[in-house]
Amino acid sequence: MLANELISRFERFAPLKLKWDRDPSGLQIGDPKQAIHKVLVTLDVRPEVVQEAVKIGADMIFAHHPVMFHPANNLDYQDPQKAMYADIAAHHILVYAAHTNLDSADGGMNDWLAAELGLTGVTGLVAGYEEAAVKMTVTVPTAQVEAVQEYLTKTWHASLNRYAFNSGEQFTVNLMADQVKPAVAGINRFVSGDDWDYQVEPLLTGGHQYSMGRVGNLPQPMTALDFAKRCKTVFHVDGLRLVCQEPQQVIKRVAVLGGDGGKFYPDALRAGAQAYVTGDVYYHTVHDMLASGLTVVDPGHHVESICKAHLTQLFKRWQAENDWQVEFVASQLNTDPFTFI
């Protein structure tokens, strides 16, 4: 299969429109028209991960963290990071990264983290991309109406209202605004552009708010200290940082945001969370968190490595649905740079 088949399917799940400003998610290195046979799924792209890809014969690396956050000033191969780029190119390995778009996707990174904590009644934490809903009224010849409707329902999971008239049929379909253009292109495959027509009008309801981070309730209340211990267990870390005024404080409502989410702690407070789980919290920000009364658990950035198993499982499901001739392998390497002593 071609790499862009996987990329296209993934970007239906976690569209690039969800990524935050200046985040270089998407294709990092390579040609999306390249044929792929084995994909290595990883949290980070490090020199040792590239060597792992070479060793197993992977021709694509699918990562959460982009390999190129900042432009390289040169390609001096004495620098291990830049030598890694040469290895990637020399072995014709395509690199794709899904960063903040995966963090914001429904059923993505932060839903996986919330599930690990056993949260219920989960909602979004930090508002991101907001998708507007529209009503599309489509008029097509009777001979093509079944094919067009089948396309819309299967591709866009659309619900239709259908009306018959003398020269053909008309129906309405509710879509997200950015689905209209590809839907029109799809309909044009079944009906000549001169033989059908459509109108679009905005809807006041039915849109969708994407969010980074999640907030929900624990199955049972527990103390801040016990909750921190639970985080240590479920995220399989050797140590973590706990910020709290009172270790015996009862915690019921929890916010979680994978990666570096310290600056979003006011959102956790507004959501009514008593505890906030995130990584890389900054010293001076922690003073503000502590003063606010919020309990904060920092298990590190590397807890996002749960994406390896979840993405691999997701890809294998799509593989079965689409009969892809490709193998998906989760990286076996631990790229956490920290050691607790």
Binding residues: 64-65, 103, 301, 304
DSSP structure string for 29-45: ES-TTSB-SEEEEES--
Residue 180: CB atoms within 10 A of its CB come to 16
Phi, psi angle pair for 220, to nearest 5°: -140, 140
DSSP structure string for 180-226: HHHHHHHHTTTS-TTS-EEEEEE-SS--EEEEEEEEEEEEEEEEHHH
b/e map 305-326, b = 16+ CB within 10 Å: bbbbebbbebbeebbeeeebeb
Strand ranges for 224-337 from DSSP E: 241-243, 250-260, 275-279, 295-298, 327-330
Binding-site members for a divalent metal cation are 64-65, 103, 301, 304
Tokens encoding 285: 């920000």
Tell me the C-alpha distance between 63 and 43, whole Å: 5
Max CA pair span of the chain: 79
DSSP 281: -
